[in-house]
Amino acid sequence: MLTENKARIAAKWNAHAGKTKGTKSWDIPQYCAYMNIEICGEPLPAVSRGPHMRLKELGPFKHAVSVGCGRATKEQALLKSGTVERFDLFDLSDQRLKVAKARYEEKGQGDKANFVVGDAFATTPRNTYDLVYWSASLHHMMDARAALEWSREVLKPGGVLMVHEYTGPTRWQWSDDMLDCLYRFRAALPPHLRPDDPSIKRPTVEQMIARDPSEAADSEAILPALKELFPDAEMRALGGAIFPHALRGIYDRMTPEDDWVFDMVLALDAAFRAKGDSHRSFALARKR
């Protein structure tokens, strides 16, 4: 699935292996709480706490797999909580796995994970895993349906699939309606928050591929494939058309007096979600 662009993708993520980027939407407690209410019914302030609560209710899982795990911090949390007993962790970036392995060993968890640099789809036997864990990596697969077919094959009967992903427009080809709403909102912010340029730009497909050939490569295909391959799956729309972008370049200078802005952002996001424009999704399914 990744052969053609494998070297470019690995180089891109190797370059970011030890870097910490600026604040992202999944770092903002208000946004995490908004999504977690949909996932588990509680306004938990960290992005993975809702999904992990749901998995803990279904576990423990003896053997799990994560493809595109990166530094594997979320997987480490599942091991620490006892939700998962052992993980196979796959990534194309040897540098990111090196960082992950060192941290696991530092925490005494090195024997609970198998770190594999390479393509999980080429080698994994059928009926291997109790849990297939997709968190912010399935949308990097070049063929989402094939990745989910693989997931179904490698799950043991009764095994669980979890998906917590960007499922919005492929290659970030956002709608005019979404971009217009974002412009109007950002232009109407108080002067101390208003950006010089309120617009959010839609990247071209060529720009997306040049930056990272895997980013949102087939994201629109995830939900249709899930419905087809796991027809009994529980699927929840988490929004995300508005909130990841509305405060871009603004959040880090907000003060507690600006908290009302979050209410406005989330109200707009909920309106888009209600009309079917949701860019993030959570799903749980069992292999029958």
CATH number at 17 reads: 3.40.50.150
Residue 78 lies in a domain: yes
Calculate mean pLDDT across residues 129-137: 97
What contacts 181, CB < 8 A, 6 or more positions away? Answer: 242, 268, 272
What contacts 187, CB < 8 A, 6 or more positions away? Answer: 194, 198
Residue 179 lies in a domain: no
Residue 140 lies in a domain: yes
pTM above 0.85, yes or no: yes
Widest Cα–Cα separation across the chain: 58
275 has a pLDDT exceeding 70 = yes
- CA distance to 69, 220, 236, 281, per residue, from 223 (Å): 21, 7, 10, 8
Residue 162 lies in a domain: yes
> How many domains are there within the chain?
1
Question: How confident is the prediction for the chain on average, in pLDDT?
Answer: 93
Residue 184 lies in a domain: no
CA distance 166 to 202: 16
The larger pLDDT score, comparing residue 44 to residue 13, is at 44
CA distance 156 to 149: 13
CB atoms within 10 A of CB 186: 21
Residue 55 lies in a domain: yes
pLDDT for 1: 45
10 has a pLDDT exceeding 70 = no
* Main-chain dihedrals φ then ψ at residue 191, nearest 5 degrees: -55, -35
Residue 18 lies in a domain: yes
Segments forming the whole domain that contains residue 247: 6-172+207-286
pLDDT for 26: 83
Residue 224 lies in a domain: yes
Amino acid at 6: K
